[in-house]
Structure 1
Amino acid sequence: MYLPKKLLSQYKQINKKYLVLIFSFGCIILLLIAAEAYYLNSENVKPAIFKTHEEKIFENYKNKIFGIDISHYQGRVEWGKLKKINKETEISFIIMRAAVGEDDEDQEFSTNWYHAKKLNIIRGAYHYYRPDENSIKQADNFISIVNLEKGDLPPVLDIEAVPSLQSIKSLKKGLKKWLNKVETHFGIKPIIYTSDSYYKNYLSDTTFQNYIFWIANFNPVMHPQFKKWKIWQFSKTGRIEGINHDVDFNVFNGNIEELKKMTKK
């Protein structure tokens, strides 16, 4: 059929418009199909789960018990809210700083000591040892502040610092004097708190081999280097309800009955 040139030109323009519309519509359909396929596939794909070091410890030691340690650095504790470390983990014990050096007392100790007992949580007290101060005066300071009762954990000697005015040999003699005097007074053998590295460098000889050790190691490991640890302080950045600052998390290498056996009779 013959068409005039003008009509033929109009016919071609109309065909081009239809082709553009058909192509555009086809692209939209393809995009909708692709989007639906992506949505259906994404529902079946589980997102990657990255566990924190703390979460790994809680999972790995789920058959053990956990506790915290506190001092005035944690501020005023809201004891009515202090029940669990996380949704699954009860606070089984709390160890609190009582004394520092020869003559300092932690300003929150008496309040913390009272409320832990009231909540029926196993409690303990520790002394922060200053290596260049007199060991006997430090022991006397701790004894004057702490009144251990039945069911309390043994006294804890916290040694972290290296002396600048005496030798390591003299330091160890002083530590032993503190331990002996405190044990004589309370009738129970103290626990030693220190870090993995401090133990390895200064305390790993036979002088302290008969003591229970509470070891600090915040590295992303699944256990301390010191194999005979009884308590492991594995985090210093824990957050729990009732405390508005970072708090130390600890795991006891045993169950609640084993912890109770360690307490004062």
Structure 2
Amino acid sequence: MRRKTTRSKTIIRRKPKKKTSFFSGKLRTYSIIGFFILLFFGVCYHYRNGLAYYFSFKSDKLSYEEAEDKRITDIRNFQVLEKHEGKAIGFDVSEFQGEVDWDLINSIESKYSLEFVFIRATAGNDKVDSRFAANWRSAKESNIIRGAYHYYRPNENSLEQARLFIQTVQLRKGDLPPVLDIEKLPKGQSLDSLKIGLRRWLNAVEAHYKVKPIIYSGEKYYDDFLKEDFSDYLFWIANYNFYREKIGDDWLFWQFTEKASVSGIKGNVDVNIFNGDVEQLRFITIE
């Protein structure tokens, strides 16, 4: 006789769902909104001087997009300059700025005196800047400390580029050391080959002028390709990022903007900060 097997039913008890409080949801929303409000006012407080300066003195008649871009740029420019009180301020020009009215070159926003200028002389092995001779002469006549730079083309012969610069630029007492501007990576050649070419240019120019050149480049290019192998040189670094507000301790010059306004020059201008005062700047000029 078979016995009947009785299966007991398993009772699954489910935990009751927690009720979402209406007020806790609102509290979370208000907390997020409050955070962004505090962040907004924190940024405004950090840039308070630049904002006050802009809204007090600016009256440019531009399109909305241009005005907004210029407003942000002007605020940062003023903030950076304010943080570098006592440092020598300068600019750089080439044929792209057109004819410069050197009689009007004096300061930025009538507050920060312009003490020096870098002028493009040559590019590659065959290009002489069409405005170099005029700018070079006028800078001297305007008593602005001047320096000349060469735009290096990686895929052209380095010694030919050095010869072109030497033939074009006559440095005198009181001028800044020559500058090598390197921004591009080579095509069809290795980085080692590029560095050999840069060394040849630097050595040839130093042998001629009897002064060690300065190297110009962007901060990332400097960090990735130049910092270690060319640590025996002084650097002029370009970085226009909003987060960068102070010159690097190991930088000789900092090109902090490409969108500044300088009287006597049409359009935007690059502006630079020297990591020292005017007397220290004169100390590094050619004797």
Which of residues 272, 277, 281 is equivalent to 1:255? 277
Give the AA of the match of 2:87: K
Task: Give the TM-score normalised by the residue count of structure 1.
Answer: 0.80
Q: How far apart in 2 are the matches of 1:129 and 1:57?
A: 29
Give the AA of the match of 1:209: S
SS in 1 for 2:133: helix
Q: How far apart in 1 are the matches of 2:123 and 2:129?
A: 7
Q: Which residue of 2 aligns with 1:3?
A: none
Alpha-carbon offset, residue 65 of structure 1: 1.2
Alpha-carbon offset, residue 95 of structure 1: 0.4
Q: Quick check: 2:83–2:246 contact (8 Å CA) kept in 1?
A: no
Q: How far apart in 1 are the matches of 2:204 and 2:109?
A: 38
**1:27-60 CA distance string (max 9 Å, x none):** xxxxxxxxxxxxxxxxxxxxx7626110101100
Q: How far apart in 2 are the matches of 1:110 and 1:165?
A: 34
Runs of at least 4 residues off by over 6 Å: none
Q: Which residue of 2 aligns with 1:175?
A: 198
Q: Which residue of 2 aligns with 1:223?
A: 246
Q: Quick check: 2:176–2:284 contact (8 Å CA) kept in 1?
A: yes
Give the AA of the match of 1:190: P
Q: How far apart in 1 are the matches of 2:209 and 2:122?
A: 16
Q: How far apart in 1 are the matches of 2:274 and 2:204?
A: 26
Unaligned runs of 5+ in 2: 1-47, 55-74
SS in 1 for 2:90: strand
Alpha-carbon offset, residue 164 of structure 1: 0.6
Q: What does residue range 44-55 of structure 1 map to in structure 2 within 5 Å? A: 50=51, 52-55=75-78
C-alpha RMSD over aligned residues? 1.1
Q: Quick check: 1:75–1:245 contact (8 Å CA) kept in 2?
A: no
Unaligned runs of 5+ in 1: 1-47
SS in 2 for 1:90: strand
Give the AA of the match of 1:166: Q
**1:92-141 CA distance string (max 9 Å, x none):** 00000000000110000000000000011100000000000000000001
Alpha-carbon offset, residue 235 of structure 1: 0.3
Larger radius of gyration: 1
Q: How far apart in 1 are the matches of 2:178 and 2:188?
A: 26
Which of residues 212, 235, 240 is equivalent to 1:213? 235
SS in 2 for 1:215: strand
**1:67-107 CA distance string (max 9 Å, x none):** 00000011100111111122111110000000000011000
**1:148-206 CA distance string (max 9 Å, x none):** 0000000000000010121111000100000000000001000000010001111122x
Alpha-carbon offset, residue 227 of structure 1: 3.6
Q: Which residue of 1 aligns with 2:267?
A: 245
Alignment length (residue pairs): 216
Q: How far apart in 1 are the matches of 2:177 and 2:147?
A: 7
Q: How far apart in 2 are the matches of 1:187 and 1:245?
A: 36
SS in 2 for 1:91: strand
Which of residues 113, 133, 138 is equivalent to 2:161? 138
Q: How far apart in 2 are the matches of 1:200 and 1:81?
A: 37
Q: What does residue range 46-65 of structure 1 map to in structure 2 within 5 Å? A: 50=51, 52-65=75-88
